[in-house]
Amino acid sequence: GAQGWRETMGAEEEAPGAAPRRPPSELRGDDAAGELTSFEGLPGGPLELGAGGGGGGRPALGGTARPRRAPAERPGEPLRDFSVAMPSLAGQPVDLQGLPDQIKVALAFLRSVCPQDIMRDEVVAHFPPLLPPQSQEHKGRRTLVLDLDETLVHCHPSLLAGSPPPALHLRIEVTSPPLNAHVYVRPFAQLMLALVAQVFEVVVFTASAAIYADQVLDFLDPDRKCVAHRLYRQHCTEIGGGHFKDMRRLGRRLEDVLLVDNSPLAAGLSPDNGILVSSWFGDDYGDAELLDLLHVLEQCSLEASIPAFLAERYGFGAFLQQQRQRQQQQQAAAMGSNGLLSVPVGVLGPCAGPTPRP
């Protein structure tokens, strides 16, 4: 049934109460994947994998020269979606009305729950790390954590009208009734995996079940040469029914960790370690989001601190704090307008919330 589907294949980091995922629209554009096998074909000129610039002997995307900046939308324009190209969210008015409903629901959840106030650093310190120590092959590399569904692939229980045939058909027999899954691969996903695996320690972290995710990853990375570690739903931190991916629990320095996800909820516990990509639903084969992502990853590979760079580039952590402060101000104003005691915002304190489940 629907619940079994969600728990097995569709359990990505949707906020509780979110609307069902939108249906696919008509196919747009040509197949963007083409025959690209290197950075030579990327928009903006050739980029080559090379050493240098990464600091600490790390490999880097690109040479020692500063890389070109990834494409960015102009500030002030209404956001259609969160994406690699979006402008910084901090310190300026952001029109959120045009965002997909799921993004707006996730942001409302993050405003009300305040997960960082619930899962504090001193609590995280008591949990064992989710990853083993870095292997000799990956020693000193930054850790790139990739989401699976709607970031690299889209899985659907039925065939999508107007889309090319799915890359993979799955039948999950352990559920009752068995579940059918048709897996569509986002343009450039496998190329991106092959390239970033030469530079980063790559982890796939999904909120879906292993019985589904492993089959998809075995297709994307059949020789297991790209993805060093796999994390699943049981590795998420559950707060108020939402599944968060806590980068502090990996056992890596936060300065060297980067999460790529289509869900703001996933990055809620470490917002300045995350890049939010647009969601892909198997209907747009002209999509080039993962190419834009490669340019940002190139920049990240050269920065001394990934969260410091992403805080400046995207400002997601500051944006969430602004959203919470605005909500507190509205709550305080509502209390005053109802004839109740108007409490200054600073006195309201951190958001209360349920006990987290690691």
Query: Three-state SS for 25?
Result: coil
Q: Residue 92 to residues 87, 322, 340: CA-CA distances in angstroms?
A: 10, 10, 32
Other CB atoms within a 10 A radius of the CB of residue 223 amount to 6
Q: How far are the Cα atoms of 32, 134, 190, 286 from residue 289, in angstroms, in the given order? A: 11, 29, 13, 9
Structure tokens at 292: 């834009």
C-alpha distances out from residue 33 to 29, 85, 119, 151, 185, Å: 11, 19, 40, 15, 10
CA distance 288 to 298: 16
User: Which of 117, 147, 214, 218 is labelled catalytic?
Assistant: 147
Structure-block tokens of residue 60: 């880097």
Helix axis angle for 189-196 and 210-220, nearest 10°, is 80
Token couple for 90: 């901090």
Place of tokens 């990509």: 277
> What is the C-alpha to C-alpha distance for residues 75 and 77, in angstroms, rounded to an integer?
6
Active site residue 149: yes
Quickly count: other Cβ atoms within 10 Å of residue 325's Cβ: 14
284 classed as catalytic: no
Catalytic residue among 30, 81, 117, 149: 149
Q: How many CB atoms lie within 10 A of CB 355?
A: 9
- Cross-strand pairs, 143: 201, 257
Catalytic residues: 147, 149
